[in-house]
Amino acid sequence: MDNSKFLKAAIIVLLLINISTLGFMWFHNAPGNMNPPPHREIGDFLMHELNFTDAQRHQFEELREDHRKSVDALRDESRKMHDEFFGLLGASVADSVKINLLADSLTALQKQIELSTFFHFQKVRAMCSPEQQQKFDEVIKEGLRMMAPPPPPRR
């Protein structure tokens, strides 16, 4: 085979390899084909890691339900306020006082959610035995990462 035929064949083979690789990457990472990582709820994670007794499980479930109700109410209020906040985009004249007031209110709501979550976990830690508290201190960061929203998809 002379040089030009060999080069043409090599280019065609490399082109086919590149197209195959790109096709595989495209279809393998397509949003419809992605399997999300298994998600465990932090409550189940803590109960397992801390080896709660039946009484502790019951107490924890009550704490979790109370916390969920209070945070859900705050999130509902936040959603309504976000709608009002971004509804101001349609105004012909921006009311900077109202914009700032709503932004401050949204910040205050987020602060309430964070404080509610902090105090919830403080109560959970308080119901633990000293050994469980030590384990709690070791695993809480991992548990909180489980609660965090997933990172945005790469483009």
CATH code, 91: 1.20.120
On whether residue 123 sits in a domain, the answer given is yes
On whether residue 64 sits in a domain, the answer given is no
Give the single-character DSSP code of 88.
Answer: G
On whether residue 98 sits in a domain, the answer given is yes
**Which token pair is 110?**
């987020």
On whether residue 91 sits in a domain, the answer given is yes
Q: Count the alpha carbons within 13 Å of 26 in the hemisphere toward its beta carbon.
A: 6
The predicted pLDDT at position 154 comes to 73
- Taking 70 as the pLDDT cut, the residues of the chain under it are 1, 15, 23-40, 147-149, 155
**Which token pair is 68?**
């969920």
Tally Cβ neighbours within 10 Å of residue 136.
20
User: Helices then strands (H, E): number in the chain?
Assistant: 5, 0
On whether residue 12 sits in a domain, the answer given is no
On whether residue 39 sits in a domain, the answer given is no
Query: If we measure between CA atoms, which residue out of 151, 74, 82, 61 comes closest to residue 115?
Result: 74
Q: Can you give the residue range of the structural domain that contains 123? A: 71-137
On whether residue 152 sits in a domain, the answer given is no
- Contact at 8 Å (CB) between 110 and 103? no
The predicted pLDDT at position 136 comes to 92
On whether residue 52 sits in a domain, the answer given is no
- Contact at 8 Å (CB) between 46 and 124? yes
The predicted pLDDT at position 26 comes to 66
Domain count, the chain: 1
